[in-house]
Each structure stands twice: as C-alpha cells, then as structure tokens.
Amino acid sequence: MNASIENRNEAQMIASILAGNTHEFHTLIQPYERSVYSMALSMLQNEADAEDAAQEAFLKAFRNLDKFRGEAKFSTWLISITLNEARSRLRHKKTAKTDSLDELTEGGHVSPALLRDWREIPSEALERQEVRLLLQDAITDLPVIYREVFVLRDMEYLSVNQSAEALGISVAAAKVRLHRARLMLQKRLAPELKRVMPKRRWLPWF
C-alpha cells in the first residue's frame, strides 16, 4: 500500500518544516482539511463555529509540530487536537441541561426502528440537500459521548482501539457507545430516509 510511502513523505515533510521550511505545512495538511472540518462541524453543530475550530486546530498543530512524536500517525495526532478543540468549545457553550442529558443516556437502552424492508441504499440520496441535512442533524443531535465515538470510528475510520485511545476510554466502553450511537441513528434516520426517498431512485447496494 502507499500508506507507508505517505507516512514517510509526511515524516520528511515534518522534518523539513521543523528545520525552517514552514511553508510546507500548507502541503502537509491539505489531505486533512475536509476531515478536520467535518469533525468540527459534527461536534459543534454550526458552520461558523466549525470553521473557527478547524482553523484553530490547524494553527495549534502548526505551533506544536515540534512536540509531535513520530510514533503516532500525523492524522491521529491532528484528530486528537481537533477533538480537544471541539470539546473545549462545547464545554464553554453547553448548558447544564444538555450536560445532564448526556449523563442520563449513558446507561440507557436503545432499540432500533423496526422496519420490515430495507435492502437498498439510496446512494443518490446525498445529491439532495434535504437528505444531507437529515444526516447532519441526526449526527449533531447525538449526545456528545456518542457523537464523538461515531465520528472517530464511522466517519474518520479509526479502529475501535484508536477511537478508545483518542477518547481516553476503555475499548469496551467505546464499543458500547459506538453500538448505541449507531442504533440511535438507525432508529431516527431509517424511517426519515424511507419517507423522503422516492422508492424508484433507490439503488441496490451491491
């Protein structure tokens, strides 16, 4: 795979940036612009906050690049900076009410939506703004502890172990939260997506 080539190039780029070629940082972060932004948006629920948090995360990464340890992947390091940035903003704007809601749902039980037939994926669905908004709303409405693990695992493709590590929780806790997050989304989105998607536009998913 070219993952190791990418890693090596990144390591070289980082060494060069630290040696004074700071402008290479522009190139270094290019592949991550979208995922840092989407992570911030899914955490913060509004575009202006998300852009600001994403910018701040990249600035922090730049300023602290000399503290980056090469044994972690640069992307993982960047993710944890972004996560911290988003979390500290959430702490500032969060009300006591949402705090206690998050705590309450930790022990809760989630049942999925009981659909009888869904064999297809509406792959053209994302061309519709309406569907994108449904997805965005559903993700950003998840309580924080579920939103975080869902974003890391299912949107940023970290492994469950990496997600647990980034969140500072046990692997078992990460699995439980991830499962609940997925079922919460299924419960909410499956009926909504069925309703807004005309059947004839659905494509088989294999």
Contact with another protein (CB under 8 A) among 18, 101, 172, 196: 18
- For position 174 contacting another protein by CB under 8 A, the verdict is no
Contact with another protein (CB under 8 A) among 65, 73, 99, 173: 65
- Residue 179 structure tokens: 């499962």
Query: 54 near 43, Cβ under 8 Å?
Result: no
- For position 70 contacting another protein by CB under 8 A, the verdict is no
Centroid of chain to Cα 43? 8
Please say which residue, 97 or 116, places its beta carbon nearer to another protein: 116
- For position 13 contacting another protein by CB under 8 A, the verdict is no
With the C-alpha atoms ordered 81, 87, 91, 94, is the resulting torsion angle positive or negative?
positive
- Residue 142 structure tokens: 């998840």
Mask for 94-113, x = binds another protein (CB under 8 A) = -----------------xxx
Q: How many residues bind another protein (CB under 8 A)?
A: 67
Residues near another protein (CB under 8 A) are 18, 20, 22-23, 25-26, 33-34, 37-38, 41-42, 47, 51, 54-55, 58-67, 77, 80-81, 84, 111-123, 125-127, 131-132, 135-136, 139, 150, 154-155, 157, 160, 175, 178-179, 182-183, 185-186, 189-190, 193, 205
